[in-house]
Structure 1
Amino acid sequence: MVPHFPGANPRKRGSIKRDDSIGATGTPDGRILRRRLGGSPGRQTVIAACCVVLSLSAGVLAAVPAAQADPPDPAAKKKQLDSQIQSQRGELNQASDQLAKSVAAYTQAETQYQAVQVKYAAAQGRLAAAKAADTVAASKLKVAEAALQTAMDDVASGEQLIEAKKAVAGRAVRSAYQQQNTLVGLSIVLRGASPADLATGMQVQRNVFGIQGNAITNLNNAQAQLANKRVKVAAAEQAVADQRAEAARTVKEVTALTLQVAADKAEAAKVAATRLTAQQAAEKEKNSELAQYNALVSERTRVEQILIARARAEKAAAARRKAAREAAERAKAKKEHRPPRDVPDDPGNSSGLSFPINTYITSPYGLRFHPILHVWKLHDGTDFGAGCGTPIHAAASGVITDRYYNGGYGNRLFLSNGVIRGDSITTVYNHLSRYNVRVGQHVKKGQVIGFVGTTGYSTGCHLHFMVYQDGRVVNPMKWL
């Protein structure tokens, strides 16, 4: 019995039909039969008659139908499996699409979030500037109002000064008017007894007239200063009005920007929530994608461990067979009195492997950088593009060692090709839609062993062809 890989689905194994019969043996020789039965020919005749009766009885019993359930309908079973395959394929496509959509949604939400953050920061900056301008405007308004008050106080003082100047000037004018006659100078001359007294009197008169002139001049100056102060008051009043308007504008701007900042903050919170939801969805899909990849790696590692042990056993068996042939050749050569000839390896698949499908390659073997998971993933085989249902041919002769379904590789088929050029080779065919051979069956190179499908972790019909060399996965193209 060929050993099977552990971990294969038992229910799937139950559906695998195997031919474990050993075949019917040939009819024994008559003499041997008589020797087994013993006795004379007459006795043999009686025994033969009994055998005939027993045979007829067995035939009657065999004609009675057995009380057992009817076997499952293969067509119905196939339809059920096809439905499951289509469902799994749809789920895979949906998962891949959902991952791309989740990442795109997160990227869009992140872009919106950054834009809203910039907008919110700009609004906060404008609000801070508006508040600063409002503070400056209020300060300027306060200074302008103080200047206006000072100017108004100066005007009031000027008006009081003018009133006083008017009083002084009025008295001087009245005095001058009363003293406007030609006898004033004569009285001064006549009253003076000496020239010194006369000079003093004349000086007094000049002083009186000077005081009168100064009073009028001071009044005129005070009136001019009052006019200037009134101009300053008007300018101060205009400055106060301007500063009040500026203060009102800044207050209005601050109010509007405060509302804008609040709206931007609410929008930022909403976008942040959307981003978080998109991030969680993308993370979930990313974890699912990573789990699928880890499952593939785990399956590949498990298979490698089994095939490494099998490769060692195959190579050891081949070495033993060759050693036996060499010993036989030496014995024969000694008997024939000649040197022994070289003994070749097992003939097997000396010509190597051939393409399982005559088609184009859609994805070669090698490492891939996953743009979302940001890990290097090994694409552990060569993908051949072909429509579902396309026949798949054995790359070399060998024995079917196993077939089963895996969540990543889908329907898998393992073909042990024996030792080729000193290496144990196993070819594996993945994502099959259905099989055409059974476990334990010997197949020839080029024989149809299955059909292309898209089962497992697959997004389209193709064959994922793998080669294990001494139990380790290698690039299939080095053998094709």
Structure 2
Amino acid sequence: MDRYFPLGRRRRTVPRRGVRVVVVIMLAVGLVGGVVDLAAADREHELDRRKASVTRGIDRQQADVEQASRQLQSATGALRASQQQLSAARGGLARTLGQLAAARQLDAQMEQGLAAAEQRLAVADGDYARARVLVADTQQGIERFAVQSMASSTPTLISVDAMASGDSPLAFPELMSSAESVLSAQTSSMDDLEAAQVLMKLREERVEELRDEVEVERAVAAEHLGRTAALVREARAQRQQVSALVVQRRDSRREAASVRERDLRILRHMRRERARVRVLLSKVRMHKAVTVKAQPSAGGGPASSSSTGNGFLALPVPGAYVSSPYGMRMHPIFRVMKLHDGIDFAAACGTPVLAAADGRVVSQYYDTGFGNRVIVANGSVNGTPLATSYNHLTRYSTSTGENVSRGEVIGYVGTTGFSTGCHLHFMVYASGRPTDPAGWL
């Protein structure tokens, strides 16, 4: 008979319950009419049988309610756990989003650093380009000088030519000085070329160094941003997963609550039917008891009397005061005007309750309104079947079918059922209808 509400599935199984509910409802519908049609001798047996059947059904239904309550409690616990997981997931996402914001800020800083590095690279590229131009220009100047030197021979040959040509010897020093100036200029150009080449090499190395730096910064920024973005995706996926789990478990809890409420409705219906059976059974037993030939009072059976009824019944709680008489009054719980069908005797809970007259216990059960109650058939008085009812008891001291004597303890004052305090609600039935007990006390 177990019923499960697994988290991921909305289906459930409730074996044989529908059949049981239909049987109970059919029993309830046919109860009154069936009793009317039965022979008087068989009524009590049939009602006893039906009461036992309904009681067994109530026991089974109570087990279903308890199981549904456990399922509901489990589903509620699972829902709360998933809600806590969702809260944690939201907190984790918030932290990861904070990390992403920090990563983006760092990325912006890295972008600035990358831009500065790229600017330095651009400057270095410009310096390198200018160095190459300088080297090229220097090389071209040296090449032109070399061509010119080849065309005019060496300085020594220049001096020999000058002497052979018959020039004045005084012009020779001047020619030598000019030749030495040319050689010095050539040497300086070669030095400039060498320096330009060294500078170009250094700037080329700097350009390569800056290129590597830029690439490293780009890779670090991309890796950091990619890692943080992956964390954000993971956190969002986790939050979505937990959110779906919360929805799923909320549905499971809602279904469990619905099943429990349905079980409770069925249980309440079955209890009402059992109460109806008990009332009918009480009436049958009262009728049976008062129609039995009167027994002597000493025998503890139903009594017959020629009394007018005044003083026939003894006080059920000697020394107690009447807190509410028979008649119309405002109901203390429901706050509506209705008949108060008995007399309330105020007394402490646990005070003994005495039989008001000899009789036989025809019914003893719990009623939602009257609480624990005992009904005693007291025989016929001047042709009037009489019965007494003792209500809101805390416990019994008799059992159904037992003969009791006037003044015998049959129970104890309580406050069960619809009650606002410890008291005995004492009722008298004349010919099966409630009447004012004051006329019989």
Q: TM-score range by the shorter chain?
A: 0.3 to 0.5
- Normalising by structure 1, we get a TM-score of 0.44
- Normalising by structure 2, we get a TM-score of 0.47
